[in-house]
Each structure stands twice: as C-alpha cells, then as structure tokens.
Structure 1
Amino acid sequence: MPLHHEKSAVSQRREHGNTRSFRIMQLQSTGDAHLPSLLRSCIDHKSYSTGKLLHARILRLGLLNATFLCNRLVELYSACSKTRYAHLVFDSTPHKDIYTWNAILGAYCKAGELQSARQLFDAMPERNSFSWNNVISSLVRNGFEQEAVDVYRSMICEGFVPTRFTLASVFSACGALLDVEVGRRCHGLALKIGLEKNIYVGNALLCMYAKCGLIEDAIWAFRDLPDPNEVSFTAMMHGLAQADRVPEAIEMFRLMCRQGICIDSIALSSVLGVCSSGEYDESFLDSCGGGLSCILQGQQMHSLMIKLGCGNDIHLSNAIIHMYAKNGDMDSAELMFGNMSEISVVTWNLMIAGYGNKCESDKAIKHMQRMQCCGFEPNEVTFINVLVACVKSGDVEMGSQIFDKMSFPAVSSWNAMLSGYFQSGNNIEVIKLFRKMQFLGVRPDRTSLAIILSSCAGLEVLEFGRQVHAASLKAAGDADVYVASGLITMYSNCGKIELAKLILRKTTKLDSVCWNSMMAGLVLNSLDIEAAVCFKQMRQMEMLPTESSYATMLSCCGKFSSAFYGRQVHAQIVKDGYTSDVCIGSALVRMYCKHGDIEGARRFFDMMPFKNTVTWNEMVHGYAQNGFGHEAVCLYENMIGLGVKADSITFVAVLTACSHGGLVDAGISIFNSMWQEHGVEPLLDHYVCIVDCLGRAGRFNEVEVLIDKMPYRDDPLLWEVLLSSCRVHANVSLAKKAAGELLHLDPQNSAPYLLLANIYCSLGRWDEARAVRNQMNDNQIAKDPGHSWIDIKHDTQTFL
C-alpha cells in the first residue's frame, strides 16, 4: 500500500495559528492576554498550585471556549501527574481539536494508563503521526513490545509515514523481542524515507542489531552515522562486550576519547562493565588495547574517573569495585571500599560477591556481619551472594544455615542450595530440598529442574524422575531445551532409552546439548550404532557438533571393530578446527589405542599443543593394552619429569603395563612410590595390578604376603587374577585356595571352575579335572560364550 501524508503539518500550524490569534484578540479585549504565557511557564516548571489559580481565572472569565487554553490546561495537569483533572478538562472542552485529543492521549501515556490510552486512541476522530508515536513509545516504555509492533503495523497499513520517533521506538521493541526480521524491514523503510542517518534512528538501529547478536550489522549501522554521539559509542561498547569482543569494545572507548566525545558517567560505567568481563588467557592480551589486560584497563578507567571529577559518584564507585572484584583483585576493591564517602547496600553486596567468586566464604560472611553492624539491612541479593560464596567454597553446611535464616527465599536461593548439594555429591539432600520447595509452593525454574534431574540420573531413581518430569511440564512445558536435555539424561541413566528418544522427538527446538545428551545416553546403554546414527542426524539438521559431541562420538568409535569410522570423525574434527582441544585430543588418542594403532595414537599425542593428566593417562594405558610395557614406563617417567601430576588412573595404567610386559621390579618400585612420593593411596585396582604382575612372574610368596596385608582381601577380582596366574605356573595348592575364596565370594562365577579344571588338565590329572567339571554341572554354572570377529571391507563378521 503506498504511503501518504495527512494534511501537511505546515497547514495545520497555520490554521491553529489563525485560531490562536483570534483567541488572543479576545483575551486582549478582556485584559488577560498574558494567560497563555503564564500557563506555558506553569507547564515548564510543573507549578500545580499556580496552574490551579490560572484555571480558576479562566473559569471566572468564561474562557473555556478558547480551545487552545483548554489544551494548555490538559498539558499542565499531565505534566503535574494529575491525569484525572486533565481528563475533566478534556471532557469540559466544548470544541476539541486534534491537539486536544493528543494532549489527553499524552497524559494517559505518561501516566502509564495504557488501557485508557488505547481506548481513547481508538475513539479519536482524527489521528496524526504524533498520536501513533505516543501510543507506540508508551507501549515500548512499559514493556509491551509486541503490542507496539502491532500498532506500528496498523500505522503503516493506514498510510502514515513513520517519523524518527516511530522508528526509534520500533527498533527498541525489535531489540527487546529479538525480532530481527521486523527490524530489517523497518531498516529498509528507514533507507527508503531517508532517516537511516538520523542520530536517533541510527542509535536505535545499532542497539537492535547488537541485542539480536548481529554485531557485524551493528558495526555497519555505526559506520553509517555521520556524527556518532556518546549514546552511539556506549551502545557499540555494550554490544561488542556482549559478543565477547572485549578488545574491540575497549578500543571503541579509546576512539570515543580521541574524537573528543563527551565522556559522561554512563560511558565510564559501560567501559568499566567491559573491563569486568576479564578472565581471558595471556594470548588474548596483545589484541586488547596494546597488550593490557582487563584489570589494567580498569585501573586506567579508575584514574580517568578521578581526573574527570567523578570520584564521589556512588554508581561509578560501585562499578569500580565490581570491576576489581570480577578480576579477582579484592585488595584494590577493599581499598576503594574504604575510601568511599558514601556506600549503599549495593556496595556491600558487590564486596560479598567478590569474596564469593574467590571461594572465601569466611570473608563474605564477615562482610555481611559488618554490614549489619553499620546499620544496613541485608536484602535478598546479600543472602544469595553469601549463599553462593559458601557453596563455591564447599561449605554447604554453613550455606544451609544462611539459607534457613532467609524468610522468603527466592528461586535463585533455592537453586544455589540445590547446586551446593549436587556439587558435593549429596543427591539425596537435593531430592529432599526439592520436595520441600514443592511443599512450600515455590515454582521451580529451568535451573532447579536441570539440577534435580541430574540428581535423579545420578541415583537412577526412575519414579521420582517421572514426578519431576510432570512438574517440568507444569512449570516449563515441552519447549524448554534446557529441561529436555536433563530429561534425556535421566531416562537414559535409568535404562529407559525409548522414553529418552521420545523426549528428543517431542522437543521442537533442539540444541547441541540435547543431541549430546541423547548420544551419551545411547553409548551408556551400549547402543553405539544408534549413537553414530544420532550424530549423523544432528549434522544433517545443520547443527554444529561441539567438543562434547566429538568426545562422545570418538568414545563410540573406539568400541567399533574397525577404525574406519573413527578416522572419518577425526577428519571432520580437523575440518571444524577442534584438534587443539585437549578433551577431543585425549579421546582421539584413546580411540586409536583401542584399535591397536599405537603409532597413530603416539603421532597425534606428540602433535597436541596442550596435554593434561588425562591425555598422558590415555597414552600410557594405550601402550599397556597393546603390549608395549617398556614404552609405557618410559612415557610415565617422562610425564613425571615434566612435572605433570599423576593420579590413581595413571598408576593403574603404568602398573598394567608392568604386568603385561613382565617388568616386575619396575612395577614394585612404582607401586611403592604411589603414596610415598605422589600422595596417591593405593586402591583395589592398584593391588590387582601388582598381584597380577607378581603372579605372572611366579613370585607367589610375595603375593601371599601382600594379600595378607592389603585391605581388599574380600574382592572376587583379586582371587580371579591370582587363580589365572596359578594356572600359568601350575601352582595347584595356591590355585585351590584362590578357587575356594572365589567360590565363597561369587558362587555363580564360572571362572574358578574352568581355571582349576584347566590346571588339572595341563598336569594330566584328568580325574580331578573331571570332578571339577561335574561339580560345575551339578551347581548349574554355565560358561559365557566367547566371540570373535573380523573386518572385511568395513563390514564386521562375528563368530560365536
């Protein structure tokens, strides 16, 4: 529909001016020509009392027929927030013009009485751009962005051309709604009518793009502005910071200074917010304002604040404390805190949150106590900050005491306690607290539901998990992907994989977390082929795999008989640029080792730029499983020499290598060094490895001495390993003892019967072997069948 203007604004002003001139002549005849200017002054200064006196004068002189005076009275009462009186004047105006209607409409919009404003707007006999702008801007200001966009559409359909105020309001609404489609259409219209370079429109446009995550479009909108002001720069700084482009955000502030733009408290507050993001690695510093870290940039802003004379601004001082606290510099935060002439509850909360981030719950609690001694009353944020500090410090008991002191804890406080119990591994308490939360009628949010579902998954309590599922449907519905991923994990861990698949199918907007949860669940339930199919479907839906996706998929490929699929995934990892990720690198090493390609695993291991303990463990374990005992021990010694901390899994891997490689003395030396040199207490797996190592070497006297002293004597695995060694060395007496212990601990295990029978057979003692076999049949013990497979052109043939 073609756009057209109403009666031109010039002609309206001319008519209004003619009418006003006539009314002034009337006033001059009565000697009250000064009334319009007096009313204007009252409006400007919001002088309610003086305005009422002038209103009385107008009534006494019988001048209500002067429409322009009535319009001024409506404006006066609107400016003084007396909407009811404005409406009374409006009703008593005998000759209403469009200015009268717009004045009362503005009064309702200013007072936030949107329902009355909409009714009045619909009843207006005539509307102009000012009328539309009033309604649209008031809807946006009061958070009714979608209604504002709908009104804008009606305005365009009725043929009105939007003004700079219209477009600025609509761009603001689109930014709040993240509706970039409507925003782009408005951008096109702004280009058509030549308003794209207007400073108000341009600032609103770049803000819209920044909020929608389209930072490149925001940069183009910024560059199109002929004379960007402080609002433009501040909006760009905020948008770049939100997009994690911290160096560019700080450089934007430097550009603002170079161009002589006025630096006000809002600009300083914004750049301090950017500096508060902090916590990036050293390689990032060179691109951040000449190699300065965020904490140094923040210190410069602190100096600039003092230079500009803003040192006593409490909001900026709070921003400085927040910047220091976020960057972990609590000494500077304390210095700033001590020098402030005025502090507020917000200041105390920032200090408490800062100590919470550093896991110093004792200092956070002391600050809350000092805060109360100074006469400040802790609010909800104070308690949450202290609670989070206790949880992060691992002091869940103290956190529980703080939580119990809260009169009406918000959902965020409940979430902090749920998270604390979950992180400490106390899933039972998580469930108890969630039940209490429901009993008190506190509505859980997506975070509460995700935590409780994780606890249900950890405990594998299906029935309670179903109840949480019902609560999630009531609270968040099926659409929340955050909850959906938790449900998929819970049902997968409880063995209900079909229900997990159903959740995945019913979720309309899937993200990578949901797909990762589904793949992990399938692998957990030994459905590796289906996990690979799930990975393929994820890619077909143009969902980019994450580090977790690839790690799960490599774990899955490691179980396949062929390395073909693993190499395909490796190629995709290289293409997507994830080869430097330490978790994916460790998974690749494990995958190649499982397929026996120890050279390929070592080659990739040596190429990895970053390695952690897990990476070293995988390579040592790969050598051990593939019979390269000497290489495994050498790699272990290299690992220790480089200062990498060994853990219990490291010692399992290297002791397994010593066992398989016959390196008995090296194994004993490493076993003895576990606690003495590395502070790692030997567990069952370590004892099993060293028993296997000694047993394979036939050093049974040392084995018996070790078993008598070890704390894991009642574990079947230990005796099964010993029995296996007795078979190799035909040690019948010890084999009988081991078999007896094993049958006592695990009567249904076929291994002791078979191993003992094989020992007798190897010695030609057929009667005794037959007796063991008969005893096995009498006890109805069946041997698990073995499998063999061969890969022919990527097709696996299995034999039973």
Structure 2
Amino acid sequence: MKNIVELFMRMHVEEEAMAPNQFTFGSILKGCTISRNLKLGGVVHGSCIKFGIDLDPFIATTLVDMYAKLGRIEYSLKIFSQAPIKDVVNWTAMIAGLIHHGQEDMAKNLFLDMLRCGVEPVSVTFVSLAKIFNEPRMLNEAKQVHGLIFKHCMELDALLGSALIAMYGKCGSTDDAFRLSTRLQSKDVISHTALLVAYAQNGFDHDAMIMFHGMIDENMKIDSFAIAAVLGACSGLKASKAGKELHAYAIRKGFISDISVRNSLITMYAKCAEVQKASTMFDMMHVQDVISWTAMLACYVQNGYGEEALIHFRCMIRMGLKPDMFSITGALRACATIATHGSGGQIHTWAIKTGLQMNISVENALVTMYAKCGCIHDSYGLFECMPHKDIVTWNAIIAGFSQHGFGKEALALFRHMKYQGFQPDDFTFLAVIVACSHAGLVNDGIRYFKSMHETYELEPKMEHYACMVDLFGRAGRLNDAKKFIDSMPIEPELPVWEALLAACKIHGDIRLGKLAAVKILRLRPEQPSTYALLSNIYASLGEWDKKAEVLTMMKDQGVKKEPSRSWIEIRGIVHGFAIEDKSHPQTPQVYSKLEELKIKMEEMGYVADTNFVLHDIEQEQKEYSLLHHSEKLAVAFGLISTAKGSPLRIMKNLRVCGDCHTAMKLISKIEDRVIVLRDTNRFHHFVHGVCSCQDYW
C-alpha cells in the first residue's frame, strides 16, 4: 500500500500531472480491502468525493464491497442507498456484504427488491444468495432459488453448480446435491469437494471416503476443504487408521499448516478416543483459534474428562479468547458430566454477560446442566422462561424429570409437548420409557414403546430395547424381560444384556444372571462391571466360593473392578472419597461426624444392613465398612463444611446400596437437609426422611 500511495502522489506532482479517474481510485480501494486498511480506505473515499466520482457505479460498488469486508456494513448500506444508478454489480455486492455480516433476512429482502426493480440477477448473485440457506428447515426456500435460476435460463457453470451443491448439503438434502452434481456439464475440484462436504455433513461417511479416493484416482488437485471434510467422515466412522493415513497425507502434501485441517484432526482423534494424540496436535499448533480450543474442549467432554475440559475452558478465557456458542455448550456439558453446579452457574453468568444465553443451543445445554447437577427446579424454571423451544428443549426437560424419578411429571410434559405441536423423536421416547421404568409404570411403558412404530413410524433402537428390559427388570418381571429379549427383531447387544444382569442383581436371580453375564462376556470380555455384578449376586446369596471363581476369572482376563467413589462440590472445589477413605485432610472430623450420625440413626431404629457388604468378613468389620461407604463420607464432609439448611449434592460412580439409601433418608431428617444423590441410574432426593424414588430404584 505504501508503494501504491507513492505512485498516486506522483500523478499530481510530476510535470505531466494526470487527474485520477474511477479506475485509479477503484484499484486503490481494492488494495485497501485486501490489506484491511480501513483508515486509508476512508481517506481514499474522501478523495473520491472531492473529485466528484463517489457516486460512479464502479466506485460505489467498490466502496460497498470494501466497507462490508472491513466490518462497516452501515457505511455500505448508506453508499448503496445514495447511488443514483444501481446495476446488477451494485446489488450483488450489497447482497454479498449483508450475507457476510449475517444479515440473511435483509439480504433476501434486498434480492426481492432487486427483482422488483427489474434488475436481472447474474450467476454471482445466486452464488452469494445460496450461502443463506444452510439449515434443513430452509430446504423449500433453497429449492425456490434453484427454480429462479432455471426461470432466468442461467447456465450452471462449475462455480454456481458447486454453490448449489453446498447449499443442498447444508440443508440436509444429499440426494438433491448428488442429482445436481450429475447434471453439471463442467465439473472441477470445487464441485467434487462440495459434494464430498455434503456427504460428510449429512452422515454419508462411506460415500465421502469413496468420493475422496475417486478424486485422488482422477489426479484432482485436492485442497484443504476436501481434507477437512474427509477427516470429518473418518470422525463419523471412528476410523482411526484411515484418519492417521490422512494425517500423513496432509503432512506430505503440505496441508498440515492449514488451521481447518488441524482442527479437523483434533476432532477426528477425539471421536476415535485418542485424547493424547488430539492434545499433542493442539499443542503443536502455532496459531489456535476459537474453533481449535472448542474442538479440544469437545474432545475432553466426549471422552469423559470433565475436569480437564473445565480447566481448558478457563485457560481459553485467560488467553483472551471470547468463547462462542459451541465452547459455552461444551463447557456446560462438562459441568453436567461431573455435576459441578458451582462451575455451571459461573458459566451461566458468563453466557448472560456475553449475550449468548438467548441462543437456543446454550439454553438447552443449561436446562440439561442444571438437571444433571441435581437442580431440577432450576432446570424447569429456565425451561419455562425460554421464549422459543425446539424438540431438543423438550427432550432435555423430559429426560431431566425422568432421571430425577418424577415419572408422572415427565409424562405430563410429554403430553404437553405433543399438544404444542412438537413431533416426538427417538430421544423423546427414550426419556419417556426411562420415566416409566423409574416410576414403575410398566403398562404405560409398554404402550409408549408400541406407539413408537404404530403411531409415529419410528423404529426402536438398541437403547429403547434395553430400557424396556430395564422396565420389566426393575418391576421384578424377569421372565417377561427374557421373553421380550427373545422376541426382539434384531440381535440383542450389550446394553440389553447389561440391563437384564442389573435386574438379576437386584432380585437375586442367579440363573438369568449367569445367562446375561455369559452373553456380555462373549461380546466384551474386558467389561469389569459384568464380573462385579455376577460376583455380587453370588456374594449376596452367601456363595463365596462362586464369587471367588468369578474374581479369579476377572484376574485372569486382566480386568480391574472400578472402585466405588463419590464426589461433592464445596465452594467450587470438588472433593472425592472412596470406601474407608482416609486421604482427605479433614478425615478426623468426617469420621467423627459419621459416629455422631450413627448414634442418632440408631436411636431412630437404624440397624446396619450387612447384606450389602459383599465380603466374607466378621460382622463388626462389615458394620465399620458400611458406615464408611464413599457416599456417607461425602455427606458427612458436606455437613461439616456447609451452612445449616443448605442442600447437599453428591455424585456416585456406582449404584447406591440399600443401606446407604436408608441412611440418607434418616440423615436428611436428623440434619433437616435436602440431600440429592446422583448414582449411575438416577437421582435420589432425600427430604425429611423420604426419598423421591419411593424406595423403588
């Protein structure tokens, strides 16, 4: 730009000085746009006014384009409105500028004004317009735009054809994208890449992989967009080997420096559960944008590293990056995973400050977060205040009430959702059947399951079948559960047999329990919970030799049982406890509080139920072990660390045992506290000696 300005000045001072014309100023303005020099652009604009050429159609178009690309769309609109003559180039530049700034509705209205003024659109106009239609709900409008192109007898060149293919891909119509690609007379790498991206965006991952290999076989010049798209397909397929091959290909071809390729590699490794490789890729990046940070955040959340995800999110903020909708929702999912209500509230505050709370995806994530952190009333309050709701919103609140054991309330919400005109989907029915299971509403569960196919033409998935087995199993109808499995139209998979084994543990059915365990171990011999449940069934019936055999099998397979752990968050810090844990700095006070509680519980008639100690040890040892279960330690710590009357929220990684369940009811009455306990299956709300599950869990 310095050289350009010097040349411009020489035009005035040399002997044969020449007056600049519109093409002179047009070139300088384009240079200002490319170099993103808004200040100089304003000076040149002033010179255009001085020379009386600012309203020239060519200059007006260049100014509209410059101000739009440099972030001053209001200047573009003012210049456009003042132009006395507007040709198709002016209109197209203004439409493109509005789309660039996310003003899609204004751009559509401007396009309609253009048609009403009798200005014929050109190919580039439609290339810009196609970018507006990027959601499945906009498919009909997208097709109308395609129809206008035919109406104007416009030739589908490679550029316009690629834009339309991309449009159909974003609208979720891969069939239309493919049909259009077959009609293009001129095909190039851009049109092929557009179809490849459409496949990857809509879950046609195998087709995307085939398309990519075809492009290589035809010696097409692959670009970074194609690499990023096919890495997305590898993510969908969880094809780690193919992803690593693409990683090597990107290095060989020099694409590894492209930030979109690196971000796609982080996502691919995340989906393939290779967290360390994703982290290494992130650390190696010289430039990390918000997308990079969000991809790494999602990696931690997807793979169960909730605490690491929150640390990563806080570091992102300290780096001065402004979180977007995706990073906020990712952080909220992390809070939901580890039930950190305090951190979730802080992120909620951050979302309000940044204006992101009104985004429906963020609001949905907040509804889920509060529900999973044990604050179902906060979750419902937020749900009620939402000005706009979608099916995800309804699914989140129905699932929340289901997990908290409020089955009838969940079903009432389901009926209200249908009354509001929302069509239930797979996730809705999953939440509804879970609600029936936790509330013991077996007949209602059967009816809703049947209605999936008969009324809504939805094919049940493995998760739905597993929930039905759980529904029968919790109610003690184990034979009905087995008959249901035998009648399944698809081969039962791991979740189905796990649900049956868990029910056999509750009701002490060794015969069916062994059958379920055998099926699970054939499918996944390294599954530790299977050995644990089967050994617990034997232990609960006093068959210690059989339990020892199962533990030996477990040892031979190199499988380790997951130890019982409980967590409680106090003033933003998460404290963890194991059975008979003495590692906490306040262990003496915690153990003292438990002894105090034991005396008060015994005065109320409590007798330790040693049937839940699944070890062949002396009675006194059993009682000691029971008193120091991880959830009891967490509750005792919460009682000595918080103000009287404040609620306690505890998370446990395994199912709560019957003795602890009884103790929690008594403690809630003794201490006059609300205790919310989240285990692997559901939430328990203990209030004044009563649990929300009504002792059915």
- TM-score under structure 2 length normalisation: 0.68
What is the aligned partner in structure 2 of residue 209 from structure 1? 67
Q: 1:211 and 1:186 mapped to 2: Cα distance? A: 12
Letter in 1 for 2:175: D
Structure whose CA Rg is larger? 1
| Cα shift at 1:355 | 9.8
What is the aligned partner in structure 1 of residue 443 from structure 2? 665
**Aligned ranges for residues 697-708 of structure 1 at < 5 Å?**
697-708=475-486
Q: 2:210 and 2:346 mapped to 1: Cα distance? A: 46
**Aligned ranges for residues 404-415 of structure 1 at < 5 Å?**
409-415=187-193
Q: Deviations over 1:324-378 (max 9, x none)?
A: x9799xxxxxxxxxxxxxxxxxxxxxxxxx99942999x999x79xx9xxxx998
Letter in 2 for 1:526: G
Letter in 1 for 2:71: G
Q: What is the root-mean-square deviation in Å for CA atoms of aligned residues?
A: 4.7
What is the aligned partner in structure 2 of residue 725 from structure 1? 503
Letter in 1 for 2:53: Y
Q: 2:156 and 2:358 mapped to 1: Cα distance? A: 46
What is the aligned partner in structure 2 of residue 199 from structure 1? 52
| Cα shift at 1:612 | 1.3
What is the aligned partner in structure 2 of residue 796 from structure 1? 574
Partners of 1:789 and 1:798 within 8 A in 2:
yes
| Cα shift at 1:600 | 0.5
Letter in 2 for 1:553: A
What is the aligned partner in structure 1 of residue 387 from structure 2? 609
- Indicate which of 311, 316, 321 corresponds to 2:120: 316
Change (3 A) 1:221 1:229: closer
Change (3 A) 1:356 1:437: farther
Letter in 1 for 2:182: I
Change (3 A) 1:624 1:434: same
Q: Deviations over 1:130-175 (max 9, x none)?
A: xxxxxxxxxxxxxxxx6xx624325648993997617972564343
| Cα shift at 1:743 | 5.0
Structure that is richer in helix per residue: 1
2:549 maps to 1:774: yes
| Cα shift at 1:243 | 4.0
- Indicate which of 442, 448, 465 corresponds to 2:226: 448
What is the aligned partner in structure 2 of residue 153 from structure 1? 6
Change (3 A) 1:378 1:674: closer
| Cα shift at 1:318 | 6.0
Q: 2:245 and 2:527 mapped to 1: Cα distance? A: 39
Change (3 A) 1:215 1:239: farther
Change (3 A) 1:716 1:422: closer
Secondary structure, counterpart of 2:428 in structure 1: helix
Q: Deviations over 1:578-617 (max 9, x none)?
A: 2222211111111111110001100001111111111111
Letter in 1 for 2:84: E
- Indicate which of 556, 559, 573 corresponds to 2:337: 559
Change (3 A) 1:400 1:702: same
Partners of 1:479 and 1:509 within 8 A in 2:
no
What is the aligned partner in structure 2 of residue 230 from structure 1? 84
- Indicate which of 493, 497, 506 corresponds to 1:715: 493
| Cα shift at 1:713 | 5.6
2:108 maps to 1:244: no
- Indicate which of 506, 509, 513 corresponds to 2:291: 513
| Cα shift at 1:237 | 6.0
| Cα shift at 1:276 | 9.7
Secondary structure, counterpart of 2:291 in structure 1: helix
Q: 1:543 and 1:617 mapped to 2: Cα distance? A: 32
2:372 maps to 1:594: yes
Partners of 1:487 and 1:500 within 8 A in 2:
yes
**Aligned ranges for residues 134-213 of structure 1 at < 5 Å?**
150-153=3-6, 156=9, 160=13, 165=20, 169-170=24-25, 172-176=27-31, 178-179=33-34, 182=37, 184-185=39-40, 187-188=42-43, 196-200=49-53, 204=59, 206-207=63-64, 208-213=66-71
Secondary structure, counterpart of 1:790 in structure 2: strand
- Indicate which of 182, 188, 198 corresponds to 1:402: 182
What is the aligned partner in structure 1 of residue 270 from structure 2? 492
Q: 2:224 and 2:301 mapped to 1: Cα distance? A: 26
Q: 1:220 and 1:380 mapped to 2: Cα distance? A: 34
Letter in 2 for 1:703: A
Change (3 A) 1:294 1:360: closer
Letter in 1 for 2:95: A
Secondary structure, counterpart of 1:784 in structure 2: coil
| Cα shift at 1:632 | 1.3
Change (3 A) 1:417 1:359: farther
What is the aligned partner in structure 2 of residue 688 from structure 1? 466
For structure 1, the 5+ residue unaligned runs are: 1-145, 250-273, 279-292, 306-314, 329-353
Q: 2:519 and 2:243 mapped to 1: Cα distance? A: 40
Q: 2:410 and 2:503 mapped to 1: Cα distance? A: 22
Q: 1:505 and 1:409 mapped to 2: Cα distance? A: 39
What is the aligned partner in structure 2 of residue 635 from structure 1? 413
Letter in 2 for 1:633: L
| Cα shift at 1:424 | 5.4
Q: Deviations over 1:381-420 (max 9, x none)?
A: 68658867997743389649828x86x7311121133234
Change (3 A) 1:484 1:176: farther
Change (3 A) 1:275 1:601: closer
Change (3 A) 1:645 1:163: farther
Change (3 A) 1:675 1:792: same
Change (3 A) 1:411 1:629: same
Q: 1:582 and 1:451 mapped to 2: Cα distance? A: 27
Q: 2:278 and 2:367 mapped to 1: Cα distance? A: 30
Q: 2:291 and 2:432 mapped to 1: Cα distance? A: 35
Q: 1:544 and 1:389 mapped to 2: Cα distance? A: 29
What is the aligned partner in structure 1 of residue 428 from structure 2? 650
Q: Which 10-residue stretch deviates more, 450-459 or 464-473?
A: 464-473
Change (3 A) 1:475 1:704: closer
Alignment size in residue pairs? 561
